[in-house]
C-alpha cells in the first residue's frame, strides 16, 4: 500500500507555507514524510505544483484540477493508486507511526478514518471501491469531506487518548502553542 501525503494547500490562515515551517531541524512536511516512511514502502506527495518539493526527493503526483480542495487531492491519489491508498495530510507535525499502524490494522472498505472529538478524513485508508463516490463529489463540486465519509459509510477508528495529539494540525500561527506542548 502506498501513502499519499496531501501537500496542495495554500496556507492562507498560517500566513506562510506551513508545510515548510521549521520545527527544530526539519520542516513540518519532512516530519510527516519521515513517519510515513517508517510504515509505507512508498510515499508520494500530492500537490498542485512540483518544483518546490524537488529538494525532498519524493515523487509528486499533480492533482490536475484547478479547484483548491482536499477532496481533489484524495481523488488524484485514488485514481493513481493500484489498490488501497493511505491518505495523510501534510500538516500533522506530531503524527505517530503507531496511529498509522492502528488504522492499517483496522482498515475496511470503502474507507477507514481516524476519529477523536471529530473526524479526520485526511488520515485514513481509502479503497478503490470509494472512487466512484469521490468522483461524483468532485464532478458535482461537493468538496465536503465529512459528507463524503457519510455517503461512503466510512468506518471510524476511535484514536486512543495517548495518540490524539498526533492529529494536531498546523493551520494558524496560534496552533504552534499546542504543537509545542502548551495545551491538550
User: Which pLDDT score is estimated for 68?
Assistant: 81
In 28-69 the beta strands, taken as DSSP E runs, fall at 42-47, 60-62
CB pairs under 8 A, 24+ apart, for 76-83? Answer: 76/4, 76/46, 77/4, 77/6, 77/44, 77/46, 77/126, 78/126, 78/128, 78/130, 78/131, 78/134, 79/131, 80/4, 80/44, 81/2, 81/4, 81/126, 81/128, 82/2, 83/1, 83/127, 83/128
User: Which pLDDT score is estimated for 13?
Assistant: 53
Enumerate the β-bridge partners of residue 46. 6, 61
Task: Determine the number of helices (DSSP H) and then strands (DSSP E) in the chain.
Answer: 7, 9
User: Which pLDDT score is estimated for 184?
Assistant: 43
Domains and CATH numbers, the chain: 2-179 (3.90.550.10)
User: Which pLDDT score is estimated for 171?
Assistant: 65
Q: What is the pLDDT along the chain (184 residues), one digit of tens a residue?
A: 999 999 965 545 544 567 887 778 898 899 999 999 999 999 999 998 899 899 889 999 998 887 888 999 999 999 999 999 999 999 999 999 999 999 999 999 999 999 999 999 999 999 999 999 999 999 999 999 999 999 999 999 999 999 998 998 876 656 666 667 644 4
Say which DSSP state 111 is in. E
pTM: 0.90
Cα dist from 37 to 3, 11, 12, 42, 129, whole Å: 8, 24, 28, 7, 25
User: Which pLDDT score is estimated for 175?
Assistant: 60
Half-sphere exposure of 67 (CA within 13 A, CB side): 15
Amino acid at each position: 500500500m502506498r501513502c499519499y501525503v496531501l501537500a496542495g494547500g495554500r496556507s492562507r490562515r498560517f500566513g506562510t507555507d506551513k508545510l515548510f515551517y521549521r520545527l527544530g531541524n526539519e520542516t513540518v512536511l519532512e516530519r510527516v514524510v519521515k513517519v510515513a516512511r517508517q510504515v509505507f514502502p512508498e510515499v508520494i506527495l500530492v500537490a498542485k505544483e512540483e518544483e518546490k518539493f524537488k529538494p525532498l526527493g519524493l515523487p509528486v503526483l499533480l492533482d490536475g484540477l484547478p479547484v483548491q480542495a482536499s477532496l481533489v487531492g484524495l481523488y488524484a491519489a485514488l485514481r493513481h493508486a493500484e489498490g488501497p491508498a493511505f491518505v495523510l495530510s501534510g500538516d500533522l507535525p506530531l503524527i505517530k507511526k503507531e496511529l498509522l499502524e492502528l488504522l492499517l490494522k483496522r482498515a475496511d472498505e470503502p474507507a477507514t478514518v481516524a476519529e477523536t472529538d471529530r473526524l479526520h478524513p485526511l488520515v485514513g485508508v481509502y479503497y478503490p471501491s470509494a472512487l466512484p463516490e469521490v468522483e461524483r463529489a468532485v464532478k458535482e463540486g461537493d468538496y465536503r469531506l465529512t459528507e463524503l465519509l457519510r455517503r461512503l459509510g466510512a468506518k471510524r477508528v476511535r484514536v486512543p487518548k495517548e495518540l490524539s495529539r498526533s492529529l494536531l494540525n498546523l493551520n494558524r500561527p496560534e496552533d504552534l502553542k499546542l504543537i509545542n506542548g502548551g495545551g491538550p
